[in-house]
Amino acid sequence: MLRLQHFCHSRISWGLLALSGVGLELAALYFQYIMDLAPCVMCIYIRVAVLGLILAGLIGMLQPKRWFIRFVGISSWLVSSIWGLRLAYDLNDMQVNPSPFATCSFYPEFPSFMPLDVWLPSVFSPTGMCSDSVWTFLSVSMAQWMMVCFAVYILLALIVLFPALTRSKTSNK
């Protein structure tokens, strides 16, 4: 438990979280631009959830010895993971149970103060349909793999929750 606490209070732990998110974003761009798979609106929202994981890691890297910074980082981690799991679940439901009444929009609905699709359309602009499941690995769709990824992120966040938010005996921060 003490080793896990020291690990959670280090920059490397938070850097690994951010790096794993960067890996997922790069994989998404590989699927989009190298494998020529068009992302749908839900895929774009999932990218935003992964961006939240990257930001959570970067926040934690700022001052991992400070309790408040770790609290904000772990909170962002959990919110992004749970939101991402929900999005991936909804996307999987649209693909497994297609319905003309349950479709996704053609345009992302980002807040006016953060129009990611306008700022960076090559990453955050959808060009595909949510009901299309065009890629599988081991008979598991991309949406299902993302459900697994986000479930693992949630599990890891819950494992490190107590050690990360416990104050170190060597520090009063």
Active site residue 130: yes
> Of residues 8, 43, 70, 149, which has the active-site annotation?
43
CB environment 74-104: b (16+ within 10 A), e (fewer): bebbbebbbbbbebbbbbbebbeeeeeeeeb
CB 73 within 8 A of CB 157: no
- Cβ(108)–Cβ(118) under 8 Å? no
- Out of 8, 47, 70, 149, the active site residue is 47
Q: Which of 8, 70, 104, 149 is catalytic?
A: 104
The one catalytic residue in 8, 70, 130, 149 is 130
Structure tokens at 44: 């774009």
Query: What Rg, from alpha-carbon coordinates, does the chain have?
Result: 18
Residue 70 a catalytic site member: no
Point out the catalytic residue in the list 8, 40, 70, 149.
Answer: 40
Contact 21, 50 (CB under 8 A): yes
- 163 contacts 86 by C-beta, under 8 angstroms: no
Is 149 known to be catalytic?
A: no
Annotated catalytic residue 3: no
Angle of helix 41-62 relative to helix 11-33, nearest 10 degrees?
160
What amino acid positions are annotated as catalytic residues?
40, 43, 47, 104, 130
